[in-house]
Amino acid sequence: MKSFRHKIVVVTGAASGMGRAYAELFADEGAKLALCDFDEKGLKETAGLIRGAHPQAEIITMKVDVSDRQQVIAFADKVEAELGKAQVVINNAGVEGNNRPVWALDISQIERVMNINFYGVVHGTQAFLPQLMDSEEGALVNVSSLFGLMGTPNASDYCASKFAVRGFTESLMTELQYSHVQVHLVHPGGVATGISRSGGNDDFKERFLKSDAKAICREVIRGIKQDKLRIICAHQARSSMLGIRFLPLRLLQKLIWLDMGRVVDKTHYPQNIRRKK
């Protein structure tokens, strides 16, 4: 897909962060936008910003909880009825994990992260795939994470959801490899967005969350134009990928703890683990 002018682009999680950045950048490209988010106020702010920069832009919005399959299907129906069949879908909506080790997580906390981060992608994919397949051109972008490539401490719930997005999307790539629908898997790492506001700690954010959301979204848009299957971008993403590919797992685990152990919240760890920096 070489141009997004007049293309119908769907972005989930568009109220802030990378979702807002995607919406603004696709508007700059001349696309028609269908935006959704659970945060209705933030969603209206995104639409207002875009209309301020592009008064003639075609935009529809809808409050949607992506973990609710019926809401996502209703959004897909609204897009087709008011704009036409979607041609680009960015399954971007997500939440952070609970910043606790496995033994300190309640099952309901894990389920919430999975329902939004993984099943939200499943719902968005299945709701919009018929439209993409009926269009002359189609691109589906599912957002995983750098933490969808390696396991990190205090992030088992988040990593599980993002590993699941990876497996789901790579399987879909194989299924659609001879179709006109492009499938892209995005692994951003260390992006400074609103997803990191409520959990974790300031030391972690200062050390790891350094990349600008718009810079990452520009790279993703460039990857769609180049039909790049896996898009790995943002702070430490490429160096981490080298470690994931070439280091033995035991050594990789030690290096991850060495890098992250200094800023991980050890409140729920036994004393003998807390002392290991």
Residue partners of 30: CB distance under 8 A and separation at least 6: 4, 5, 6
Tokens of 132: 């993409």
Which pLDDT score, from 0 to 100, does residue 196 have? 45
Which pLDDT score, from 0 to 100, does residue 201 have? 54
Mean pLDDT, each 10-residue run in order, the chain (277 residues) = 95 97 98 98 98 96 98 98 98 96 97 98 98 96 94 96 98 97 92 50 55 91 96 78 89 91 88 62
8-244 is classed in which CATH architecture?
3-Layer(aba) Sandwich (3.40)
161-169 long-range contacts, Cβ below 8 Å, gap at least 24? Answer: 161/94, 161/97, 161/113, 161/114, 161/116, 161/117, 161/118, 162/117, 164/114, 164/117, 164/118, 165/117, 165/118, 165/121, 168/118, 168/121, 168/122, 168/125, 168/142, 169/121, 169/142, 169/144
Which pLDDT score, from 0 to 100, does residue 122 have? 98
Concatenated DSSP letters for 80-126? HHHT-S-SEEEE-------S--GGG--HHHHHHHHHHHTHHHHHHHH
Which pLDDT score, from 0 to 100, does residue 193 have? 56
Residue 186 forms beta bridges with which residues?
143, 231
Catalytic residue among 22, 158, 178, 269: 158
- Its sign, for the CA torsion 156, 197, 62, 183, is negative
Domain spans of the chain?
A: 8-244
Which pLDDT score, from 0 to 100, does residue 261 have? 84
Which pLDDT score, from 0 to 100, does residue 8 have? 98
Which pLDDT score, from 0 to 100, does residue 203 have? 55
33 close to 11: Cβ distance less than 8 angstroms: yes
Which pLDDT score, from 0 to 100, does residue 189 have? 82
The reported pTM is 0.90
What is each CA distance from 64 to 7, 68, 133, in whole angstroms?
22, 8, 23
Which pLDDT score, from 0 to 100, does residue 208 have? 54
Residue partners of 255: CB distance under 8 A and separation at least 6: 243, 247
Which pLDDT score, from 0 to 100, does residue 243 have? 86
| Residue 273, H or E segment | helix 271-274
- Its sign, for the CA torsion 165, 168, 173, 179, is negative
| Residue 50, H or E segment | helix 40-53
Our answer to whether residue 119 is catalytic in this structure is no
